[in-house]
Structure 1
């Protein structure tokens, strides 16, 4: 049985629909720019999996109906992107511990007639650190921002036994929510998680001086040559990560390079979170090195 919303052309998809193959997809809006269909379809073909991955443009008000239809086809799994990562939680049946703590889902897996939500964003970030030979266990980590990308990363850092996590954000109307999130991480993982004011330069400088890893999870640097961190705060034994991958070298990363830091952008986080999703759907390993060479070089 095919999917009515695709067969009747009610939603935009990136390639022609083939109802004879297992269905996998990316749900979100906009999704036309995504590299996910290329990397997953290449991996399906390489491993002989009879499935096809689509980018499906879905608005929040369309999500419930789309999920109801997906439940009734030969469904392998889905990725979820903005603006649906939190909205989707009300329509699925179960959450794993990471997605429950983060309040965010980026992967759906059908299990025993139910749709189960996972988040692989944080695990993908930690996997990407292998590219620069960095581990997080026992480390003190400062993360800039407390949005969707940040929360998934924070959860996984705590689950992977980081010693402490400091969240730097503006003290605005979302402060109480973020403080409750940090308290929940403390309670559920025993990782010392706290919140500081990102606009207090003295406190920020002190936090950087006692951290092993600095992560930018804000959009600052994506569209302008700006950084939230004064270059003088950086030191050569600090690891600097920016979840932004376009541009590849934000001002923060340029400053990190100049300061002799190990550094990485968010490009490989995208690769590794996708590989984690692929494993959940197929129980097989994505051919990461080939995918990296073909789509991420």
Structure 2
């Protein structure tokens, strides 16, 4: 915890918001949130803090004394559920929070990832994606599990969930029963899950460590669409794999924008300066 307190002490004056995670150095959230704060003329700053899951409870105790709120990234979204006094109904169903608001010393938790995903998919693929079959790779993890819960709840007709450890999908089998045509697969079922879907969502970190995916682009057909929840400056391995087949594929930068805009709304209300947030974020990502 000394490391955490040193980080807080080194923040520039005016920082009362931050993103917490481990690792966190790559996060572009500060770029877009500081652009939003400046556009609204608010005298606050948004930083980043490296916090492990073991440090999380103590971090919450310190932050509630001086911060307006914060965001959470991996691997903290599930553990944080038990560290706030209030949990939004949607966040409870999604079983994760990524946004915390401090209200008179009480902490309220929200999940803006789901609306971020929804708006990003609408922007990239149009609104009819909800009428098609979806496969999620890495559905046993925090981001993938929340995405599965959300998509089942809004009524996608079929949902194929793939996880390297299929046992981690058991809670979703129980939670999503009756909401959609649900199919669960271990890693050897990935080709079949892809074949059964028309929208493929990657919620895993596959390939980001430099390890080749080893997937056959031939799994994809011309009407497939691919969305990678991961973002980075160059193409993610999953996006590159899909584009080699000529498939429309995008990463999670738009999702980051829209979940960040929703978080800002929880902290400060309307208006949310999305245009300024987008400009700052996409410039920082080299896509202006």
The TM-score, its normalising length taken from structure 1, stands at 0.82
**What's the secondary structure of 2:185's corresponding residue?**
strand
- 1:10 aligns with 5
- Structure 1 residues 129-278: aligned runs within 5 Å: 129-135=121-127, 136-145=129-138, 146-170=140-164, 172=165, 175-186=166-177, 190-200=179-189, 204-224=190-210, 226-227=212-213, 229-246=215-232, 248-278=234-264
Partner Cα separation in structure 2 for residue 153 and residue 279 of structure 1: 21
**Deviation, structure 1 residue 239:** 0.8
Range 93-102 or range 270-279, more displaced: 93-102
**What's the secondary structure of 1:272's corresponding residue?**
helix
Counterpart contact for 2:35–2:280, Cα < 8 Å: no
Structure 1 spans left out of the alignment, 5+ residues = none
- 1:90 aligns with 82
* 1:52–1:254 CA distance, 2 compared to 1 (3 A): closer
Match of 1:35 among 3, 17, 28: 28
Structure 2 spans left out of the alignment, 5+ residues = none
Match of 1:78 among 70, 75, 78: 70
Partner Cα separation in structure 2 for residue 80 and residue 254 of structure 1: 28
Partner Cα separation in structure 2 for residue 56 and residue 89 of structure 1: 19
- Cα RMSD over matched residues? 2.7
Counterpart contact for 2:4–2:51, Cα < 8 Å: no
Counterpart contact for 1:179–1:194, Cα < 8 Å: no
* 1:161–1:114 CA distance, 2 compared to 1 (3 A): farther
State how many pairs are aligned: 280
Partner Cα separation in structure 1 for residue 205 and residue 234 of structure 2: 13
**Deviation, structure 1 residue 47:** 1.1
Match of 1:51 among 44, 47, 65: 44
Partner Cα separation in structure 2 for residue 133 and residue 61 of structure 1: 39
**Deviation, structure 1 residue 285:** 4.4
Counterpart contact for 2:87–2:108, Cα < 8 Å: yes
- 1:105 aligns with 97
Deviations 1:91-119 (A, max 9, x none): 11122234323332211123576312122
**Deviation, structure 1 residue 208:** 2.4
Counterpart contact for 2:162–2:193, Cα < 8 Å: no
Deviations 1:43-86 (A, max 9, x none): 1110122322222233334332332333344x432101233222
**What's the secondary structure of 2:161's corresponding residue?**
strand
Counterpart contact for 2:228–2:238, Cα < 8 Å: yes
- RCO higher in 1 or 2 (8 Å CA, sep ≥ 6)? 2
Partner Cα separation in structure 2 for residue 52 and residue 25 of structure 1: 8
Partner Cα separation in structure 2 for residue 186 and residue 288 of structure 1: 37
Structure 1's consecutive aligned runs of 4 or more residues displaced over 6 angstroms after TM superposition are none
Range 80-89 or range 39-48, more displaced: 80-89
- 1:66 aligns with 59
